[in-house]
Amino acid sequence: MDQGRTTASRTCQPYHRLWPGRIPWISLLLVGGVLTWLVPAAVTAAGSRTLVVILGTGSPVPDPDRSGPSLAIVVGGNSYLVDCGVGCVRRAVAAFQKKGIEALRDSNLKVCFITHLHSDHTLGYPDLMLTPWDRRSGALRVYGPPGTSAMTENILRAYAADIQVRTKGLQGSSVDTVTPEVHEIASGVIFKDGSVTVTAFPVTHGTFPNSFGFKFVSPDRTVVISGDTAASDAIVEQARGADVLIHEVYSMEKYARVPPQTRQYLRAFHTSTEELAVIANKARPKLLVPIHKLGHAGLSAGAIKRELRKAGYTGRVADSHDLDIY
Ligand SMILES: [Zn+2]
Ligand SMILES: [Zn+2]
């Protein structure tokens, strides 16, 4: 926790000092276990189905075919991003242009949940802030772990020259729509509107502090996202009977080839195909979607799925790719 956080909101001083008197404050709320109604009730089209759109199935290892970790839950006309790995905005626009998902037009990327602040999950955050800036109405709302506010302030400071030119010059950009409304989260229900209720739960991601998984409940579906995590019973509890479980994974075939220290790291920070098979067999989601496939590069197509089967998982499992829709 930040030192001195004694109230629910405070000024983001570093950015505010750049343009005194002109910059609205970033709202910083600590929400944990308390329902928050932070947006107007969204309109959910009657009969519309909740969609999971995978924007990036990649891991920190760059792969042109797999963007950084990011996905979208789409309910009616609303989209809710989970993580903002590199390429998230372009993948979202691809989903709009190629799949006809209007809610993923860049101007409609208005809400983002961040599982943890590892760089592979946040490299697209400046992109999300700055690329749709002039087409977005209102502030981007971001729900992330402690430290999200500081990251936001520092990104704004890093792009101070760009922001100054765009707001002071001929482009006429509004500072209001580049400055995110940041909500730092704790466990519990962190968001609720007319389309979804989002619950955050802690996961164990090695020594990385404040890592969360998320559970989205919409009128027609329950979707659980593991975030980055070692094998955890928390996932089993949250995902029991869920419609979709989206879970990170690493390949045991690759694990067998790496040195002992890397193995130690993988066991502490991530979940193997063998472990995920056990988790999924206990939770019995209607569909398992493996993402964040560490060690996937160089493996043959469908390798992760085959490893899950070999480890005894008998339920439905997707061989996920960017822009898949479930
Ligand atoms: Zn991570
Ligand atoms: Zn990661």
Instruction: Give 9-68 pLDDT, tens digit per residue.
Output: 322 333 333 333 333 344 444 444 333 333 223 333 334 699 999 999 988 888 899 999
Nearest in space to 210 (alpha carbons), one of 174, 186, 192: 186
Residue 295 has a pLDDT of: 74
Mean pLDDT over 157-174 rounds to: 93
| 171 pLDDT tier (thresholds 50, 70, 90) | confident
Distance 200 CA to ligand 2 centre (A): 17
Q: What is the pLDDT of residues 110-119, one digit of tens each?
A: 999 999 999 9
Number of the ligand closest to the Cα of 118: 1
Q: CA-CA distance, 181 to 176, in Å (whole number)?
A: 10
In this model, does residue 220 exceed pLDDT 50?
yes
Distance 270 CA to ligand 2 centre (A): 9
Looking at the domain 25-38+49-310, which fold is it? Answer: Metallo-beta-lactamase; Chain A (3.60.15)
Distance 189 CA to ligand 1 centre (A): 22
Residue 296 has a pLDDT of: 67
Residue 187 has a pLDDT of: 97
Give me the active site residues, please.
120
Among 144-148, 200-204, 255-259, 267-271, the least confident range: 255-259
Domain ranges of the chain: 25-38+49-310
Percent of the chain with pLDDT over 90: 76
Residue 14 has a pLDDT of: 30
Mean pLDDT over 286-293 rounds to: 95
Nearest in space to 246 (alpha carbons), one of 312, 291, 313: 291
Q: What size, in residues, is the chain?
A: 326
Number of the ligand closest to the Cα of 293: 2
Mean pLDDT of the chain: 86
Distance 306 CA to ligand 2 centre (A): 22
Collapsed DSSP state (helix, strand, coil) of residue 41:
coil
Phi, psi of 295 (to 5 degrees): 80, 10
Q: Cα angle at 152 between 150 and 158, to 5 degrees?
A: 100
